[in-house]
Amino acid sequence: MHLLTIDDLIQIHGPRRVLFAALGAMFTPSPRLRIGGIEGMDDRLLRDIGLPPRSGAPPRLHSRLMR
Q: For 20-29, how does the pLDDT look when each residue is reduced to its tens digit (9 = 90+)? A: 998 888 887 7
Query: Which residue, among 34, 62, 37, 36, has the nearest Cα to 48 in the 3D structure?
Result: 62
What pLDDT shows up at residue 28? 79
Domain that holds residue 56: 1-67
Q: Which alpha helices (H) appear in the chain, and where do they start and end?
A: 6-13, 15-27, 31-35, 43-48
Answer for the pair 58, 44: CB distance below 8 angstroms, yes or no.
Answer: no
Q: Is the predicted pLDDT of residue 6 greater than 70, yes or no?
A: yes
Name the average pLDDT for the chain. 74
Number of structural domains in the chain: 1
What pLDDT shows up at residue 20? 92
CB atoms < 10 A from the CB of 35, how many?
Answer: 9
What pLDDT shows up at residue 55? 66
Q: What is the pTM of this model?
A: 0.42
